[in-house]
Structure 1
Amino acid sequence: MRDKLFNLLLLLSGVGVILVAGGILYALSTESLTAIKEYGLLQFITSTEWSDRSQSFGALPFITGTLMTSLLALLFTIPFSLSVALFTGEYFKGRRVATMVSSLVDLLAGIPSIVYGLWGFYTVRPILVSLNVNAQGFGVLLASIVLAIMIIPYASSLSAEFIGMIPNELKEGVYSLGATRLEVIRHISIPVAGSGIFAAYILAFGRALGETMAVTMLMGNTNNVPLSLRDTGDTMASVIANQFGEASGVKLSALFAIGFLLFLITALINLVAKGVVHRIHK
């Protein structure tokens, strides 16, 4: 009887996950129909105009802003997160200093995004302005830097876990052949843990795609397509947060359509990542 109850609980949990995902997809798609019928899906995605006056709403500025900031943040994240992961999972694994660094990384991962936004506004922005890197004080570069700092703890913590799971016997066998620490990392640690590290970066990238408050505070909140790192703009998540409360009619439907596109982009990235990880394991 206990086994049957446990199996039923597992079945209900699995069905519940499917129902929640299906409910999200259904709600977003049905609420998006008004905007999609009004403009057409292709025009909605490729249009650069977002205007309350003309009642014309296109998603391209926000798609561009989302991809630019997220990809740039991921590019900034890779060297720093991999260094932290190797420090805690390889070089000083099991030592007190690695435990301290891991605890600090976990603490940074739990900080709310709005706190990162405040920190970026009052710390990173003045530095960039003083260096004349970002004369406007806002923009893609500023948002990307803060996003990178936000997702580094996720990527480094997960990567360190996968690196730490490599059997010591495998590395000791390579050391016995005269390999250096760097050679072991290059030819054993990173290749063996490669799929896990890749998955960690995909999860961090997904966090950057959906980030809202920090980007809202730092990117400038304009409806134009950002063409350089110094341009202002908006992302798909932040434009929904900024304009959802006052939206109605076709504009409200357009915001739902942006959320629907963000859902599809995130799902597509996760599917691609799973496919890559599956190929690596094969």
Structure 2
Amino acid sequence: MHKSGFGTTRLGNIRRLEGLMETVFALCGWASIISVVLITAYIFMAGLPPILKTGISEFILGTQWKPTAEEPKFGIFPMILASFLGMAGAAAIGVPVGLFTAILLALMAPKRLAAFLRGCIELMAGIPSVVYGFFGLTVIVPFIRINLGSPTGTSLLAMIIILSAMILPTIVSLSETALRAVPKEYMEGALALGASRIEAIFKVMIPAAGSGIMASAVLGMGRAVGETMAVIMVCGNIPRIPRSLLDTVSPMTATIAKDMSYAGPFHQAALFGIGAVLFLFIVALNMVLHVVVQRSIEGKRGSP
């Protein structure tokens, strides 16, 4: 009887503890959801009035940003274009380099070399943004000015180079995880059928890990779009449509950070409008990622 009572008491305590932990988990989940909703609502409540007053088409497609002029202009198309070009250029460099590095770490390198390289990649992820920006300002910008004929060196090209380095840890880490998640039998089966190691990697392993690799690419592009500190140090901060890689630009994040310190009430609200546009841009990236992953999963389910 004593043992039975002890067991019942212990079982009751475990159930109460499980109920308490479920409540804690639920509260944490709801806190995250409510935080996102409140931040989103605040951004749009602060940013929509100047967008509507200026005109949606004029605000998004306008090419002049002169918030302190006698007749203020609030056109952010050059900033949107700079953010898009910076993201695309960083992805064009960072995604292939990151993918090939992940292939080396997951499938080709000896364990000791892979562990050393993995540690270096993780160290890159821990470097603050301002350090990347300072490196770009003291090394990349002078190199571009001296060797490529840019008047100042601060340019779209410098921004792309810095962003491509900053997104590497995300792409390498997630791509390596996706490649390691593919069953080894895929690789062994391809080799047994006569494929070379490179053929097995590019025709079997990469397609099998395609959803994870795509997720890493989109998350890396999201990091590139949202980066501020490093970008503001190397881009030049002049909001105009670039005609070459050597032109100075001012992406959306850099303009928000640069103007916020001296902005008046309407100017500040317009900066929140830029933030709302940037928010929608990142949401669109996440939606693209979701669609790509779902199609990849459905394709795998439908394949023999």
TM range (shorter): over 0.9
Q: 1:97 aligns with which of 100, 113, 116?
A: 113
1:82-161 matched pairs, under 5 angstroms: 82-92=99-109, 95-132=111-148, 134-161=150-177
Matched letter for residue 46 of structure 2: E
Matched letter for residue 245 of structure 1: S
Matching of residue 35 in structure 1 with residue 50 in structure 2: yes
The question of whether the paired residues in 2 share the 8 Å contact of 1:55 and 1:251 is answered with no
Q: State the structure with more CA Rg.
A: 2
Measured in 2, the distance between the counterparts of 1:275 and 1:135 equals: 43
Matched letter for residue 31 of structure 1: A
- Residue by residue over 1:17-54, the C-alpha shift from the partner in whole angstroms, topping out at 9 and shown as x without a partner, is 21111111111111113312321222111111111112
Measured in 2, the distance between the counterparts of 1:178 and 1:222 equals: 56
- Residue by residue over 1:163-206, the C-alpha shift from the partner in whole angstroms, topping out at 9 and shown as x without a partner, is 11221122112222222101110121101111100000101000
The two structures have a TM-score, normalised by structure 2, of 0.89
Matched letter for residue 89 of structure 1: A
Which shows bigger deviation, 96-105 or 184-193? Answer: 184-193
Q: 1:164 aligns with which of 150, 162, 180?
A: 180
Q: 1:50 aligns with which of 43, 65, 79?
A: 65
Measured in 2, the distance between the counterparts of 1:115 and 1:214 equals: 8
Measured in 1, the distance between the counterparts of 2:41 and 2:169 equals: 33
1:223, distance to aligned residue in structure 2 (A): 2.2
1:55, distance to aligned residue in structure 2 (A): 2.0
Matching of residue 3 in structure 1 with residue 21 in structure 2: no
Q: 1:248 aligns with which of 254, 264, 286?
A: 264
Runs of 4+ more than 4 Å apart:
none
SS at match of 1:231: coil
Aligned to 2:78: 61
The two structures have a TM-score, normalised by structure 1, of 0.96
The question of whether the paired residues in 2 share the 8 Å contact of 1:120 and 1:146 is answered with yes
The question of whether the paired residues in 2 share the 8 Å contact of 1:136 and 1:230 is answered with no
Measured in 2, the distance between the counterparts of 1:56 and 1:125 equals: 30
1:10, distance to aligned residue in structure 2 (A): 2.4
Measured in 2, the distance between the counterparts of 1:33 and 1:157 equals: 38
Aligned to 2:97: 80
Give the length in aligned residue pairs: 281
- Residue by residue over 1:93-125, the C-alpha shift from the partner in whole angstroms, topping out at 9 and shown as x without a partner, is 6x1000000000000011111101111111112
1:133, distance to aligned residue in structure 2 (A): 5.5
Measured in 1, the distance between the counterparts of 2:257 and 2:27 equals: 33
Aligned to 1:188: 204
Measured in 1, the distance between the counterparts of 2:149 and 2:88 equals: 19
CA RMSD between the two structures: 1.3
Return the structure number with greater relative CO, CA threshold 8 A, min gap 6.
1
Measured in 2, the distance between the counterparts of 1:174 and 1:222 equals: 53
Q: 2:218 aligns with which of 202, 211, 214?
A: 202
Which shows bigger deviation, 101-110 or 29-38? Answer: 29-38
The answer for unaligned runs of 5 or more in structure 1 is: none
